Amino acid sequence: MRLAYEAREKKRRDALFLASAEKRAEERAEERGEKRGEKRGEKRGEKRGEKRGEKRGEKRGIKKGLSQAAREMKRSGMAIERIQQFTGLSRAEIKNL
């Protein structure tokens, strides 16, 4: 009778241990998956941000270059209409240079 009780208890403890071990393994796997997902998301976000920044920088650089060219054209006495034609800047933008 005692042996039967001990066998049942051992079986119960083993089942509890396995259940808790499985739960811990699932939790660890879930954590690892979340970390991987976060890293992937960060990389994608950084790439997108870099691309957007590059595009904005290019636009600003082009605009700045056109403004500098227009400023020099204006200083040299070129007509505003001609400056508009070459740079694509508005009359107001050219006057404010």
Q: pLDDT tens digits, residue range 57-68?
A: 999 999 999 999
Please report, for the chain, the start and end positions of each structural domain, with discontinuous segments joined by +: 2-95
The pTM of this model reads 0.51
Q: Are 85 and 66 in contact (CB under 8 A)?
A: no
Q: Are 78 and 94 in contact (CB under 8 A)?
A: no
Residue 76 pLDDT > 90, yes or no? yes
Handedness of CA 76, 78, 83, 84 (dihedral sign): positive
Distance (Å, rounded) from C-alpha 59 to C-alpha 66?
11
- Secondary-structure breakdown of the chain: helix, strand, coil percentages, each rounded to the nearest 5: 90, 0, 10
Locate 64 and state its tokens: 């700045």
More confident: 37 or 8? 37
